[in-house]
Structure 1
Amino acid sequence: MSVVTRIAPSPTGDPHVGTAYIGLFNFTLARQAGGTFILRIEDTDRGRYVPGSETRIFQMMQWLGLTPDESPLQGGPNGPYRQSERFELYGDYARQLVASGHAYPAFETPEELSALREAAQAAGHVIHVPSRDLDPAEALRRMDAGEAAVIRLKVPRDGETVVNDRLRDPIHFQNIEIDDKVLLKADGFPTYHLANVVDDRLMGVTHVIRAEEWITSTPIHILLYRAFGWPEPVWAHMPLLRNADKSKISKRKNPTSVEWYQQQGFLPEAMLNFLATMGWTHPDGLEIFDLAEFGRVFRLEDVTLGGPVFDQAKLRWYNGKYLREVLTEDDVAHRLHAFLAAQKSELPLDEYFRAVTRLMTPRLEVFSDFLDKTGYFWTEDYAVNEKAQAAIDGARELLPELASRLKNLPTFDAGSIKALFHTYAEEKGLKLGKVMPPVRAAVAGTLESPDLPDLLATLGRERVVGRITKAVS
């Protein structure tokens, strides 16, 4: 059997990290099997549709490198890939269910349904819709005559529906407790249940990998597969991403837009690596691995259900590891420069920029930290914080002499500068902790910076001597 997976987001807002998370596992399973990964846009809920959201979903998938085989952009043999462009299909399939006795037109008004629902809740059972008992031919005649109606699934009132999930023990649902869900609304638009099942079947989807919040909808979908006489796909409901307090991840407690992380300067490789560990652990205990390695060792059955925490601090750690240990210096410089250019920075990609990048990379976790941490490299008008000023004030006798020695140093490189500081400290009977911090404070305005000899060598002799002289004058 050829494996076909899909991701089916709705264009209702920011591209969500949850979509990226589920997309990663669907993409990987399809690639492992040499199968097909489909991106479908579920846009039938026109009340929540956000213009531009669809394009942003495409851009997110492209940024992450989770390229689908079929989508509204690529096209494919199973299109169209927007539900709004498949509108006529759903009405035909809904009528097919009515004709086979598995669904029925329902004519109750919202007010009537509200009263029925209240009565059902008071009695402790699911709502019974009177239209369920109408003769199917008469119901269709009334609907065809223009009478407002929805089409509802006719759930059996005996037995049970069992969800066989690859990640869980069988989940049993008593049919008597399942509502007759609306499949086709009065305006002709399908609900999620009908459109999802019809599209998955027509697109040949073999594995439905989605978030666990859809488990309660799955018996409805299984009943639809049975009503149509179609084989079920493989079901696998992934654990939801959680906040630190174990609540479902939400933008009230955590940024959930992938665009936000992109704009902060996170790397797509680090994001994918981090998302892969949400509910899954590398069998060899590796924390840093790429998409190819994930595809090599991943098994769907190894996903755990403990409620993975989307910890932004851990994601920053992953990103820092990629900057320091995975990417080359040249790659970091080019990506950082492209990121800054998108932020309207005009810094040139020259040897000085590369030197500063090389110096600062060990101190970075995300690219957005760069300008905040490197202001003194680009301007003489840098701020001097309180601790740095105190260090300067306490060394006004040392700094002019150090400036003179640095000015006359034959070779102004990191090794020579380091030797100069050691020699000076020995001559004066001082510890390096008394000699180097005031210089750091004078040239950077802070006591937190890269290794001082490297910093001075990168700034250059003229800047260093001028800044120390300015600081004590």
Structure 2
Amino acid sequence: MTANASSPVRTRFAPSPTGFLHLGGARTALFSWAFARHHQGTFVLRIEDTDVERSTPEAVQAILDSMDWLGMQPDEGPFYQMQRMDRYREVIAQMLAAGTAYHCYSTPEEVEAMREAARARGDKPRYDGTWRPEPGKTLPPVPEGRKPVVRFKNPQTGATAWNDLVKGPISFDNGELDDLIIARPDGTPTYNFCVVVDDWDMGITHVLRGDDHVNNTPRQINILRALGATLPEYGHVPMILGPDGEKLSKRHGAVNVMEYDREGYLPEAMINYLARLGWSHGDDEIFSREQLVEWFDTLHLSKSASQWDPKKLNWVNAHYIKQMDPAELARRVARRIAARGGRPEKTDLPGVMALLKDRAETLEQLADGAMLFCGEFKPASPELAAQHLTERAREALADFAARARDADWTRESISALIKAVLADRGLKMPQLGIPLRVAVTGQAQTPAVDAVLALLGKETVLARLEAAQGSR
């Protein structure tokens, strides 16, 4: 039995807070979020924190921060598995009473010996069912003082199959599956069991997750069937590989998603790029969040692994920067300028963004460029000054400064003023443009010099020209 097509769609993202949210997890969350949004459904966030030794509050917060930065706020949750222990124990008790689960007193060493014996026979290594109750079977005496695990009584015949939303038909022979441990000797439930109860209780209709979970799926389906629960539909998305075709690692960029925020990537660009890693809509490379929601379906999820390409991410990010309103860019870059010791309020920051955005790939690059206008002025080095502030150049600068005092201070008028000085003195643009840059910015290379001078302001430009004349 699968989810009824007319049932409201409910998806979930269920990370373990044993580390930060990485790119693969962010993509899984994105696909689940987009599928729910496309169907006007519900997106649930569940924190699977039963690994007490490795789960940390910092990792939980990092997951929440990443989801918030990407704009994938859940409709329900976050729910925490550690707060649901009573519910898990209740279901285990019901399964023990119904005979779909049983106590197993075999020690880990004994189970390993069973597996070694199976390997020696050429069979699949697995628990041999010593404590599995069957009609007419006499179980061994219960060892004194030994606490049992609880195992699920998995079907031993037939197959568990489903039509995967990504991979198509998948089938597992039940005879190949162990009787899964669903509770440890101390009574704490195991991962696969908690997932099943959560999906059941939360009415999850569609599970989109990484294909490293494929082997868990038949076990989870069999437990759901034993509980009489409606099955979700499952879709398993292939992994993301690094540029070299190997598993994505920290050296490729498999870092905390929030690191991309720190490096100056826009969440809009990250959403766009992540969506294209394993999903497509024709040849569209650039699309909005709204278009993603409108277009998203599981039919166009790729069956093959995707490859992370930092250069492509930079290209996408640069596109979004170019398209963004300069005032909005200024709002996003201001804190980065302040972190560099700059004063974003010193200048027309939207104007600066309009000037710089066509040549920037990240917000960090924009902040670096904006320091020309927001940071402390550093005069040219003696070597740079000696190279470019020659006697002929200083005369041209003095002529420019004299004409500038009474000129309108717009980019257009400054451009006209530069052209007039060039014409009257028989100079080419580099012969005035570079000395102007060196004298006014301390640098030989900047964006368009007329735009730079306009943004710096007439008083600042004239003061720096006068200072440069006196530095010979």
| TM-score w.r.t. length of structure 2 | 0.87
Matches within 5 A, 1:232-311: 232-283=231-282, 285-311=283-309
Among 393, 402, 405, the alignment partner of 2:396 is 402
How far the C-alpha of 1:306 sits from its partner, in A, is 3.0
CA distance in 2, matches of 1:139, 1:193: 26
Structure 2 CA distance for aligned equivalents of residues 231 and 384 of structure 1: 73
Matches within 5 A, 1:443-458: 443-458=440-455
Choose from 409, 412, 416 the match for 1:415: 412
Q: Which runs of 4+ in 1 moved over 6 A?
A: 135-141
Match in the other structure for 1:43: 49
**Alpha carbons of structure 1 residues 19 and 290: separation in structure 2 relative to 1, 3 Å:** same
Contact persistence 2:434–2:445 (CA under 8 A): no
Report the residue type matching 2:401 in the other structure.
K
SS at match of 2:225: helix
| Post-superposition offset of 1:357 | 2.7
Distance in 1 of aligned mates of 2:185 and 2:336: 49
Q: Equivalent pairs: percent with the same residue?
A: 35
Aligned to 2:461: 464
Structure 2: gaps (5+ residues):
1-6
Question: Distance between the aligned counterparts of 1:401 and 1:168, measured in 2?
Answer: 74
Matched residue type, 2:211: E
SS for the counterpart of 2:168 is: coil
1:116/1:374 CA distance change after superposition, 3 Å:
same
Contact 1:126/1:176, CA 8 A, preserved across alignment: no
Contact 1:376 1:445 in 2 (8 A): no
Classify 1:220/1:130 alpha carbon distance in 2 versus 1 (closer, same or farther; 3 Å). Answer: closer
Q: 2-side partners of 1:141 and 1:200: how far apart?
A: 37
- Between the aligned partners of 2:208 and 2:10, the Cα distance in structure 1 is 11
> Is 1:172 the counterpart of 2:178 in the alignment?
no
1:70 matched residue in structure 2: 76
Q: Which of 316, 327, 330 is equivalent to 1:333?
A: 330
Find the counterpart in structure 2 of residue 14 from structure 1: 20
CA distance in 1, matches of 2:237, 2:118: 33
Quickly say closer, same or farther: Cα 1:107–1:372, change in 2 above 3 A.
Answer: same
The one-letter code matched in structure 2 to 1:4 is R
Deviations 1:1-56 (A, max 9, x none): 11111111111122223332112221222122222111111111112111232233
Following superposition, the deviation at residue 392 of structure 1 comes to: 5.3
Give the match's secondary structure for 1:46.
coil
Q: Which moved more, 1:377-386 or 1:132-141?
A: 132-141
Separation in 2 of the partners of 1:304 and 1:149?
A: 43
Shift of 1:197: 0.8
Residues 61-460 of structure 1: matches in 2 within 5 Å?
61-72=67-78, 81-124=79-122, 125-134=124-133, 147-283=146-282, 285-325=283-323, 327-341=324-338, 343=339, 345=341, 347-349=343-345, 351-382=347-378, 384=380, 389=383, 393-409=387-403, 410-411=406-407, 412-460=409-457
**Offset of residue 115 of structure 1:** 2.7
* Matching residue's letter, 2:410: D
SS of alignment partner, residue 301 of structure 1: coil
- Aligned-pair CA distance for 1:142: 5.0
1:31 is aligned to 2:37 = yes
What's the offset of the Cα at 1:368? 1.8
User: What per-residue deviation string (whole Å, max 9, x for no partner) do you get for residues 162-211 of structure 1?
Assistant: 23201123122223332332211112221111010111011100001111
- Across the aligned residues of Structure 1 and Structure 2, the Cα RMSD in angstroms comes to 2.9
After superposition, the Cα gap between the structure-2 partners of 1:211 and 1:191, relative to the gap in structure 1 and judged at 3 Å, is: same
Aligned to 1:78: none
User: Amino acid of the residue matched to residue 415 of structure 1?
Assistant: E
How has the CA–CA distance of structure 1 residues 350 and 442 changed in structure 2, closer, same or farther, with 3 Å as cutoff? closer
Change (3 A) 1:188 1:306: same
Deviations 1:247-300 (A, max 9, x none): 2322243142121112223222222122221212234x3333222211112221
Secondary structure of 2:308's counterpart equals: coil
Q: Distance in 2 between matches of 1:230 and 1:349?
A: 60
For 1:116, give the aligned amino acid: M
SS of corresponding position for 2:73 = coil
Question: Aligned pair count?
Answer: 459
Other-structure match for 2:10:
4
- The question of whether the paired residues in 2 share the 8 Å contact of 1:249 and 1:256 is answered with no
Unaligned runs of 5+ residues in structure 1 are 73-80
1:403 is matched by which residue type in structure 2? L
Q: How many Å separate the matches in 1 of 2:24 and 2:49?
A: 18
Residue pair 1:132, 1:154 contacting (<8 A) in 2 also? no
Provide the C-alpha distance between the structure 2 equivalents of 1:127 and 1:439, rounded to a whole number of angstroms. 79
